[in-house]
A = this chain, B = another copy of it.
């Protein structure tokens, strides 16, 4: 399974499920909007600076991102393990920004609650019809 095939699947999904590890070592799952951009092995998400997951990733960058599609007769999913970085540079924030974001972030691209997350894929498993395939990110 190539990463291109996985990213093609990822780009069709509307929802991402991401996991962080809290201060007590518990995993915590959240739903997110699908990634804005994919570059190389990096997936870019937007979220609120004030959210709990930002607290988690500030202390522990270990992360997982999951995408799935459930049909009537088949199920497909991919679980990607990697690291999550909080992007603080304005250049990246400007690139990821979309016009509609100003509905949520009233101060625009420099709104302190507007946050960009960069997830770097390390390894992954893809599931389809009860079969598992390892994904190669090299």
Contact = CB atoms under 8 A, between A and B. Distances in A.
Taking the full assembly, how many copies of this chain does it contain?
Answer: 2
A21 B31 contact: no
Nearest to A25: B62
Contact of A62 (B26, B29, B65): B26
Interface of A: 14-15, 17, 19-22, 24-31, 52, 60, 62-66, 68, 70, 75, 77, 79, 81, 125, 127
20 contacts: A14-B70, A15-B68, A17-B17, A17-B29, A17-B66, A19-B19, A19-B29, A19-B64, A21-B21, A22-B81, A24-B62, A26-B62, A26-B63, A27-B62, A28-B79, A28-B81, A29-B65, A30-B77, A31-B66, A31-B70
